[in-house]
Amino acid sequence: MSSNDAWRPAAEPVAPAGPAAAVERTFRAEQGAVLATLIRHLGDFQLAEDAVQDAFAAALAAWSEDGIPANPGAWITVTARRKAIDRLRRERAIADRAARLAELARLDAQEHRPEHGADEGGEVVDDRLRLIFTCCHPALAMPARVALTLKTLGGLSTGEIARAFLVSETTMAQRLVRAKRKIAEAGIPYRVPSGAALPGRLEGVLSVVYLIFNEGYGAAEGDRLVRGELCGEAIRLGRLLAALMPEDAEVRGLLALMLLHDARRDARLDADGRYVPLDRQDRSRWDRGRIREGLGTLDAAMALRRPGPYQLQAAIAALHVEAPRAEQTDWARIAGLYLALGRLSPSPVIEVNRAVALARAAGPSAGLEVLAPLLDDSRLARYQPLHAAHAELLRQVGDREGAARAYQHALSLTGNAVERAELERRLAELGE
Amino acid sequence: MPKYMLLNYLPTKGGPAPEEMREQHARWMRYDQDLKEAGLFLANDGLAGPDAATTVRVRGGETQLTDGPFAETKEYLAGYFLIEAPDLDVALEWAARMPSSSYGSVEVRPVWGQA
């Protein structure tokens, strides 16, 4: 609950160099790694989290008094371990209390010998990877995976996560408590799965990270600032995964995809906060740094020669950002990439996108040919993007009556105000 | 090692045809054997059908009996395996290997108080 975040400095006037700012910085940079290691030492999510919170609370007082330590991360690590020892001594109900206390005392003694101080480096990396896989375990419901990943590996408070997902802080706090209780009660293991289980589980981890990103990128409602932070957190997790699993092409593919989308985030809204579609965005507002990093990451992913859906989507995003003007977009290659993507993971979403790309490259009739089998599929009768794309292509071949019918159908399926306004605008244009 | 109850739920309609019973029986025997060889087996029983069930409630000091199961459902509890496993991943693996998992469902419940 919010009491756990009590150490966090008030958002308002904080001197950037003061102890409060140092705590904030250390929290964002080190929280995940410190927590991950302590969870391994303690075998207990909740106890570790409480101890780390205790340590950050103590830091604010101690650093104001004695000054900021040379290595704030190490200070937090040692203090969190001591806080865990304190808590174990107090809470007699905890199982294996004696064994855990002995293990912590051993680690604490070791830490004091300077020659052991640097040894932790290699293990810290492993711990954060373990933590990601535990937080994204498929035995937890998707909202719980998302919340837990953000809370334990990210730098957001429970309140911030709650605001980003438009739920009350109490609801989010309960979701987190329930997830941690299930990890403990059901015995969800704290480890990176091995062998045959790894690819499937990694896919699950990547989908959690991408969901966090999209939650921020969607920006249809809610606090835009907090949602922007979600994109930043997802990219941070993507970078962490790419550093921890450098040999995995799809991990890099996902990072590249997020960076290339994020580069366009600000340009997607005009001065009045209205959505601006890709072809009408002011390209000078795209973030060049993000684009450079995204393209570099994509190159590194493709050099591993194991293509996958995230890399293909990133390649499509790359073709969009590489075009100096919308008219110069290489639609033929984009259509080819959608074809490859559809073969890897068939879906009507991809087929509609392929039809639109093909129409741009080879004319509206080519696009309509791709749509034809989808329009015959009764399961897609209520799939709005299909009918919006159909309408647009019918308009382009000059079938105004058919286009009007398809726009009406698409309008009847949309609940989104931005989409509705855009469809109504196009429908009105037909009559002119 | 933590203990897990694997609860075997079967659909009230559907499931293996009568002529597949011999093959099904052999698969259950093999599953039981594999669990024992892995050193994880603790206990197992199959239950008589919901037709044989009687539900008991005591309300206001009075015992009420109902002929049949607690609730009408599309799936009924048909049996259980109590196993030991080092963690949930291993328990889930054995749940997936249960012969009925392809047409029924297996609920994996940790035994209470181990955390």
B85, B92, B115 member nearest A139 (Cβ): B92
B87 touching A, CB under 8 A?
Answer: yes
Output the pLDDT for position A94. Answer: 63
Q: Which residues of A touch B87 (CB under 8 A)?
A: 187-189
CA-to-CA separations, B36 to A12, A417, B41, B87, in angstroms, rounded: 63, 60, 5, 17
Host H or E run for residue B10: strand B3-11
Comparing alpha-carbon positions, the chain A residue that sits nearest to B85 is A187
Q: Which residues of A touch B85 (CB under 8 A)?
A: 187
DSSP string of A376-406?
A: T-GGGTT-HHHHHHHHHHHHHTT-HHHHHHH
Comparing alpha-carbon positions, the chain A residue that sits nearest to B84 is A187
Output the pLDDT for position A113. Answer: 44
Helices A249-262, A224-244: axis angle to 10 degrees equals 150
Give me the residues of A, 130-189, that contact B with CB < 8 A: 137, 139, 181, 184-189
Angle at A191 between CA A185 and CA A197, to 5 degrees: 105
Q: Cβ separation of A188 and B87 shorter than 8 Å?
A: yes
Output the pLDDT for position A224. Answer: 63
Output the pLDDT for position A275. Answer: 76
Output the pLDDT for position A95. Answer: 62
Q: Cβ separation of A139 and B88 shorter than 8 Å?
A: yes
Question: B3-110 sits in which CATH class?
Answer: alpha beta
Q: Cβ separation of B88 and A193 shorter than 8 Å?
A: no
Nearest to A350 by CA among A322, A319, A385: A385
Q: Are A267 and A281 in contact (CB under 8 A)?
A: yes
* Model pTM score: 0.83
B56 touching A, CB under 8 A?
Answer: no
Q: Cβ separation of A139 and B87 shorter than 8 Å?
A: no
What are the domain boundaries of chain B? 3-110
pLDDT tens over chain A, length 432 residues: 344 444 444 444 444 578 888 888 888 788 888 899 898 888 888 889 999 999 999 999 999 998 889 898 889 999 999 999 999 888 766 666 777 777 777 777 765 443 333 334 445 557 888 999 999 999 999 999 999 999 888 778 899 889 888 889 999 999 999 999 999 999 999 888 888 889 999 999 999 999 999 888 875 555 566 678 889 999 999 999 999 899 999 999 999 999 999 999 889 888 877 778 888 999 999 999 999 999 999 999 999 999 999 999 999 999 999 999 999 999 999 999 999 999 998 999 999 999 999 999 999 999 999 999 999 998 888 999 999 999 999 999 999 999 999 999 999 998 777 778 888 988 998 876
ipTM exceeding the 0.85 mark: yes
Output the pLDDT for position A115. Answer: 35
Half-sphere exposure of B35 (CA within 13 A, CB side): 27
Indicate whether B55 pLDDT > 70. Answer: yes
Q: How confident is the model at residue B113 (pLDDT cuts 50, 70, 90)?
A: confident
User: Hey, what are A48's tokens?
Assistant: 């570790």
Rounded to 10 degrees, what is the CA torsion of A236, A238, A244, A249?
A: -160
Chain B interface mutation, best of A185, A190, A192, A201, highest count of B Cβ atoms under 10 Å: A185
